Amino acid sequence: MNDPIAKMRQIETELGIKTMTLELEVLLLINKLGAPSSNDIIRSSRFSPASVNNCLRNLETIGVITIVSDTTDRRRKLHRIKPKFVNTISTIVQ
């Protein structure tokens, strides 16, 4: 099982403890999906749309991600991990 999100969820189920925060799951999903939209992240997570959107705003505010307009549809916002944090997130995935 190479999917870190699936690994963490399995540990949570087996041990009955919380291993993953909303922020970590969202960052792992952004890393996995490339430059996903909010809806892409919401569909792939287990959290409510409001929780995911609040998390994305917080991650942008603290400077971990950037939010940019899609070049083909300016209404669609894409989320990217800032370059200086990519290695940190990548080490979690390995």
Show me where the domains of the chain are located.
22-93
3-state SS, one letter per residue, for the chain: CCCHHHHHHHHHHHHCCCCCCHHHHHHHHHHHHCCCEHHHHHHHCCCCHHHHHHHHHHHHHCCCEEEEECCCCCCCEEEEECHHHHHHHHHHHC
CATH domain 22-93 topology: Arc Repressor Mutant, subunit A (1.10.10)
Residue 72 pLDDT level (bands cut at 50, 70, 90): very high
Per-residue model confidence as pLDDT tens digits over 6-53: 877 787 787 777 777 888 889 999 999 999 999 999 999 889 999 999
